[in-house]
Each structure stands twice: as structure tokens, then as C-alpha cells.
Amino acid sequence: MRRAVVKGVGHYLPERVVPNAEFEKTLDTSDEWIKARSGIERRHFAAADETTSDLATHAAKAALAMAGMDGNDIDAIVLATSTADLTFPSAATMVQHNIGNTSGYAFDVQAVCAGFVYALSNANALIMSGQADRVMVIGAETFSRIMDWTDRSTCVLFGDGAGALILEAEEGNGDAADRGVLSTDLNSDGRYKDLLYVDGGVSTQNTGMLRMEGKEVFRHAVEKLAKTADTALEKVGLGPDDVTWVVPHQANIRIIQATAKKLGVEMERVVVTVQDHGNTSAASIPLALSTAVANGQIKQGDLVVTEAIGGGLAWGAVVIRW
């Protein structure tokens, strides 16, 4: 059976680090208040001349270096973002050019904070169907560009960054012992679009800013994240006890803790980077994966579950044997 096996990961964070204390100058907030409610201590903001595709390119090059590949070794690039440089063309095609790829194809996926899970699922499908042998999956965001800096409930939560992962086709036995993507589970429900959205867009001719009903998003997140992870595991006959690492969307430490408890996984088996990166939307999971590999946490053979939820609402999970 054809499997999509991870060959390299990489990430990039902008140079500017913004600690919680910086928000105390302009908002009725404090380092203690932000940490207590989110677990976030700092985040990175892109420079004025840095775009989402710039961040994505740095992460892509890091992943290529780890995999020992160059740009033209990649057949396809799937880039998850809600903050592309331009309305069109896609940020993915800009990365394609920046890494010197002239023989593949590239496109963006937009599912907000669940974007990387959606992109990873699409990349897996391209490999499983034989449409590509090597696919680069990227999550990249510059959410600092869509913040309402007067809204203390949202602007302190988000940051900028990018992460990339390279998948390559390999033959497996078709069971849960195989390396690579073992299962995916994707979901969305447009009835909840008003819980997390940007109040502008191309057809409204207004860039807009991020708006969120935090308490409602929290309630949906814990229930839906645990369920989608369970479903993805069940598809390959596995359960929480088989999981080496859960790598969740890094939105809020309380959501991460509550979801882990509901899933039945101890926090010692959960990768947590939210304290250093904040919520980087579609970049959050690949950033956490790359960081965990660099730290020596995730190793070959480990069973990894990623799960995320974002505006839409859209949510999903992917099970990977590293």
C-alpha cells in the first residue's frame, strides 16, 4: 500500500519577539492575565517588509535541507494560510518560485486554524492516488496584520510564523505499523461561522479584522477536537493508549489540557509550544512538529496525532507514524 512518509520538517519565526508585557502599554491587561487565560508568554511578529510567503519560504528551505532535497525534487506544494500576500496568485506559487521549483504545481488551502490538517490530508490524497510522489505541506500566517489592537480578548493571542513538512511516497503493508499518514478525519459546519471570523474580505472591499466569541469557541473546540482525534485513531484500529505524541493546534493551554483529558492522554505526551509562539493559526501544528523534532521529542516510529479547529467552524485530525 502506498504511504505518505515524513522526510523532513522545518520552521521559521520572525525576528521580533513580543512579550506579554508589551501589551500593558496600550491595553488594560497584564502578563499574568494573559498567561492565566491562554498560557501564552510571548509571540513573534513579522517585520513590516515580511510577507506570509517570505515566512513560508524560510520554513520550506529548512525542511528541504533536513530531507536532503532541492526545490525540483518536490512534485507539489500545498500551503495552508488565511493571510496570503495577495488575493491572487497563491502564496504557494510564490514559495514554488523562491525554492527554484519549475516542474511541479502549487496551491493554497484556506481552513483557518485547521488549515494545516486540511492541507496535510490533501497532500496525503495526492500521494495515495499517485498524482505526486513528493509533496511539501506548509502552514504560514501573518495574523498580526488582521488584529484589532483595541480588543484585548483577541490581539494578545495571535502570532506569526511558518512550518513545513515534506511527504514522500513509500510502500507499506497497509496496517497501523506502517510509517506515514495512516488516517485523516475532516469536518466543518458553517452554522458556526459567526463564532470566529474576519469582518471583511475581497467582495466586501474591506480587509477586516479578526472577531471571536471566545467562550463558545472554547466549548466547541474541546468537544470536537477530542472526537475527531478519536475518530481518526479508530479508522486504523488504534486508541489513545497507542499514541506517542499528540500535537494539537496551539491556541490556548486550557483548550489543550481539556482536550487531552477528554481524549485520555496525559499532558506528558502532548507537545506544547503555545507559550512561545501564541496562536499562529495554520502555522501552529507544523511549527510544533518541527520544534518537537528539533528538541528530540518526536522520533522515527512514534505515533503522532495532530488535531485542530478554526473558523468555519472547520476541524480535523491526522494520524501519522513518524
Q: Are strands 245-248 and 16-19 parallel, antiparallel or unpaired?
A: unpaired
Cell 481524549, residue? Answer: 263
Going by C-alpha positions, the residue among 89, 107, 139, 81 that lies closest to residue 284 is: 139
Helix (H) or strand (E) holding 10: strand 2-12
Cα–Cα separations (whole angstroms), residue 49 to 74, 155, 270: 28, 21, 35
249 among known catalytic residues:
yes
Q: Is 279 a catalytic residue?
A: yes
Q: Are 9 and 68 in contact (CB under 8 A)?
A: no
Contact 282, 111 (CB under 8 A): yes
Using DSSP, state whether 254 is helix, strand or coil: helix
Q: 124 vs 135, 266, 284, 311, CA distance in Å? A: 8, 28, 19, 23
- Residue 14, preceding peptide bond in cis (omega within 30° of 0): no
Distance between CA 211 and CA 45 in Å, rounded?
Answer: 19
Q: Indicate the pairing of strand 42-45 with strand 245-248.
A: unpaired
Q: Which residue of the set 113, 122, 220, 277 is catalytic?
A: 113
Which residues are within 8 A (CB) of 37 and not within 5 positions of it... i.e. 6 or more apart?
252, 254
DSSP string, 17-74: EEEGGGGGGTSS--HHHHHHHH---EEEE--TT--HHHHHHHHHHHHHHHHT--GGG-
Give the active site residue among 220, 249, 252, 277. 249
* Residues tagged active-site: 113, 249, 279
